[in-house]
Amino acid sequence: MEHFLQFFILIPLIGFLASLIIPRKNEKGISLIAISTASIQLLYALSFFIYWLTNGHIVLDNKVLVIYHSQSAEFFLDLFFDKVTAVYLITGSFLALLVTVFSKYYIHRESGFKRFFNTLLFFFLGYNLVISGGNFETLFIGWEFLGISSFLLIAFYRDRYLPVKNGFKVFTVYRLSDICLILAIWLNHHLWSEGFTFSNFNDSVLMNNLFQNHQIQVISISLLIFIAACVKSAQLPFSSWLPRAMEGPTSSSAIFYGSLSVHLGAFILLRTYPLWESLVFIKLIIICGGAITGFVATSIARVQPTVKTQIAYASVAQIGLIFIEIALGLHTLALIHFSGNALLRTYQLLVSPSVLNYLIHHQFFNFSKPELKKETGIIKKLKNTIYVLGVKEWNLDSFMFRYLWMPLKKTGNLFSFINVRITLFLLVPAYGVSLIYLMCYPDFSEKTSSYLSLLFAALALIMALRSFTERKNALFSWLLLFLNSLWINLSVSVNNDYSLSESSLYLAGILLSAFVGVICLNKMRKLEAPALDRFHGHSYEYPITAFVFLLSCLGISGFPVTTAFIGQDIIFAHISEHQIPLVLITSLAVLICGIASIRIYARVFLGQHVKNYHEIAFKSS
pLDDT digits (tens, 9 = 90+) for 344-360: 988 888 887 777 666 66
Lowest mean pLDDT among 87-91, 488-492, 575-579: 575-579
What is the pLDDT, as a whole number, of residue 359?
65
What is the pLDDT, as a whole number, of residue 339?
92
Residue 407 DSSP label: H
Q: What whole-number distance in Å separates Cα of residue 108 and Cα of residue 615?
A: 31
What lies within 8 Å, CB to CB, of 354 at 6+ separation is none
Q: What whole-number distance in Å separates Cα of residue 313 and Cα of residue 294?
A: 9
537 — alpha (psi -120 to 50), left (phi > 0) or beta? left
Neighbours of 88 (CB within 10 A): 26
Which neighbouring-strand residues pair with 309?
Answer: none
State the helix-helix crossing angle for 543-556 and 474-493, rounded to 10 degrees. 30
DSSP output for 599-620: HHHHHHHSS----TTS---SS-
Q: Are 19 and 33 in contact (CB under 8 A)?
A: yes
Q: What whole-number distance in Å separates Cα of residue 453 and Cα of residue 29?
A: 53
What is the pLDDT, as a whole number, of residue 66?
81
SS3 assignment for 465-485: HHHHHCCCCHHHHHHHHHHHH
Buried/exposed code over 42-61 (b: 16+ C-beta within 10 A; e: otherwise): bebbeebbeebeeeeeeebb
- Rounded mean pLDDT of 304-329? 89
Question: From residue 176, how far is each of 131, 357, 388, 566 by CA, in Å?
Answer: 20, 38, 29, 20
What is the pLDDT, as a whole number, of residue 323?
94
Which neighbouring-strand residues pair with 75?
Answer: 68
- Rounded mean pLDDT of 98-124? 89
- The C-alpha torsion from 609 through 612 and 618 to 621, rounded to 10°, is -50
What lies within 8 Å, CB to CB, of 513 at 6+ separation is 551, 552, 553, 554, 555, 556, 562, 564
Q: Euclidean distance between the first and final Cα of the chain, in Å?
A: 71
- Rounded mean pLDDT of 423-449? 79
What is the pLDDT, as a whole number, of residue 615?
62
* Burial class of residue 365 in the structure, from the number of CB atoms within 10 Å of its CB (0-12 exposed, 13-18 middle, 19+ buried): exposed
What lies within 8 Å, CB to CB, of 592 at 6+ separation is 408, 461, 464, 465, 467, 468
What is the pLDDT, as a whole number, of residue 245?
84
Query: Taken in order 564, 569, 575, 579, is the CA torsion positive or negative?
Result: positive
Which neighbouring-strand residues pair with 62?
Answer: 79
Q: For the chain, how many helices (H) and strands (E)?
A: 26, 2
Which neighbouring-strand residues pair with 68?
Answer: 75
Whether 372 shows a pLDDT value over 70: the answer reads: no
Number of residues in the chain: 621
Q: Are 560 and 129 in contact (CB under 8 A)?
A: no
Which neighbouring-strand residues pair with 63?
Answer: 78
Q: What whole-number distance in Å separates Cα of residue 599 and Cα of residue 171?
A: 10
Residue 110 DSSP label: -
DSSP output for 327-352: HTT-HHHHHHHHHHHHHHHHHHHHHH
Q: What percentage of the chain exceeds 70 in pLDDT?
A: 92
What is the pLDDT, as a whole number, of residue 621?
42
CA angle 310, 311, 312 (to 5 degrees): 90
Q: Please provide the average confidence, as pLDDT, over all residues in the chain.
A: 85
Which neighbouring-strand residues pair with 81?
Answer: 60
What is the pLDDT, as a whole number, of residue 15?
92
DSSP output for 408-434: HHHHHHTTTT--HHHIIIIIHHHHHHH
- 139-185 confidence digits (pLDDT tens): 989 998 988 998 888 888 888 888 888 888 888 888 888 889 989 88
Question: From residue 217, how far is each of 135, 191, 198, 433, 577 by CA, in Å?
Answer: 18, 7, 17, 37, 9
* Model confidence band, residue 45 (pLDDT cutoffs 50, 70, 90): very high
329 — alpha (psi -120 to 50), left (phi > 0) or beta? left
Q: What whole-number distance in Å separates Cα of residue 237 and Cα of residue 298?
A: 14
Q: What whole-number distance in Å separates Cα of residue 125 and Cα of residue 8?
A: 9
Element (H, E) at 591: helix 580-605
Closest CA to 252 of 166, 339, 355: 166
Lowest mean pLDDT among 185-199, 539-553, 605-619: 605-619
What is the pLDDT, as a whole number, of residue 620?
47
Which amino acid type is present at position 332? T
SS3 assignment for 530-552: CCCCCCCCHHHCCHHHHHHHHHH
Between 342 and 361, the more confident residue is: 342
Q: Are 31 and 117 in contact (CB under 8 A)?
A: yes
Whether 94 shows a pLDDT value over 80: the answer reads: yes
CA angle 16, 22, 25 (to 5 degrees): 125
- Rounded mean pLDDT of 27-31? 90
Q: What whole-number distance in Å separates Cα of residue 489 and Cα of residue 484?
A: 9
In the chain, the largest separation of any two C-alpha atoms, in whole Å, equals 85
* Model confidence band, residue 496 (pLDDT cutoffs 50, 70, 90): low
Q: Are 110 and 116 in contact (CB under 8 A)?
A: yes
| Preceding amide of 23 cis, omega within 30 | no
DSSP output for 129-189: HHHHBSSHHHHHHHHHHHHHHHHHHHTSSTTSHHHHHHHHHHHHHHHHHHHHHHHHHHHHH
* Model confidence band, residue 363 (pLDDT cutoffs 50, 70, 90): low
φ/ψ of residue 63, rounded to 5? -80, 105
- Rounded mean pLDDT of 53-72? 81
